[in-house]
Chain A
Amino acid sequence: MKKSRYLALVLVVAIMLMGAGYAAWTDQVVISNNVETGYLEVQFIDPNYSATELSGSAYVNLQPVVRDEKTVRFALTNLYPGAMFTTLTEIQNKGSIPVKFDNAVVTFGADSSKELMDNITVSFDYWIYDAEGHHIGSMAGGANVPLTQFQARLNSTLANLQLLPGEYVSIVGTPNPEGQSIDQLMTYTVNSGLTGAESSGLNFDITFNWKQFNQ
């Protein structure tokens, strides 16, 4: 047999074998996937203070400076020994996944009066509400906690707080004998025994940090 014929024969056989291989039956199933992540968002709610949400003793001047979803800042002037002021702080989980309290940081401005700082106490508790505004639980904060220990107390008392989407926490006043009332707000008190610190100023920031619930 001539060489060219032999090669042609080999080629034909090879193609036939290829054909047999490709002709095997197959079927396939396809799984199409669409995967989305959610988001983590914690905000202060109610961007406007009402008169009952920020109030103080007589002659104390209060004015909210900034209040939006992420920042609450207010200024108080003309404080004096024995004066009080109250605020309502409500923090809501507006994200799509549960959040867990991470930590709170209280920082004082460089020009703050150390004497005034040492003579202010704060009393507070926490009320927890579900997304529909139903009261679902309470947590103890502390009564007459020195402002200098406020950060540590916030961190110890909020350590296990978790908020589901829509839930929010109100930082309110300490319990009274009849039980808590929403009208009783977180209360700051200037020590009535303060003898100095006239015409002094104090500014401080309270930062609440939150993280996703599974961290």
Chain B
Amino acid sequence: MPARPGSARRYAEALFSIAKERGTLDAWQTELERAGAVLRQPGAERALETPGVPIAAKRAALESVTGPLSREVGVLIDMLFERKRLGLLPQIADAFAARVREERGIELADVTSAVPLTTEEQQIVAQRLSQRLGRTVTVTTHVDPSIMGGVVARVGDQLIDASVRGKLEALRRQLHATV
């Protein structure tokens, strides 16, 4: 997981507070994500930070890929151009999305299982996690046979280990501590 510098969070927070007033959370989130995705392309940041090319031209180039951007998102991007911090954009997009999720009480859960989960099972896991955390949980799934069975859910910094491997590990530790 990449480190999220505090500055990206502050830009995101500023934009978020405007978006919340205007009710444009979803629209801006997709715009930011699209722009962020462009910046994630290797070489894109270097190309867009080339000195000598006027900002308006750079912005036009960016918009030719992302499609037209709303005024405020555009202003934010101009600001980043001016400050030579365009590299922060993907992180701002992440921070914005995180802030939107927080606002709506949604948690992202990363669920790992030994065998692929059926949609039904995924729903059960999501439901159980929601009960436990008191928030709506959106689940993304991975398959990792090395956990042997059960599931491992990671929500934020919390790790809920209900896998066979985790239990065996805990048992090993307990036996090790006493004998």
Q: Do the two chains bind?
A: no
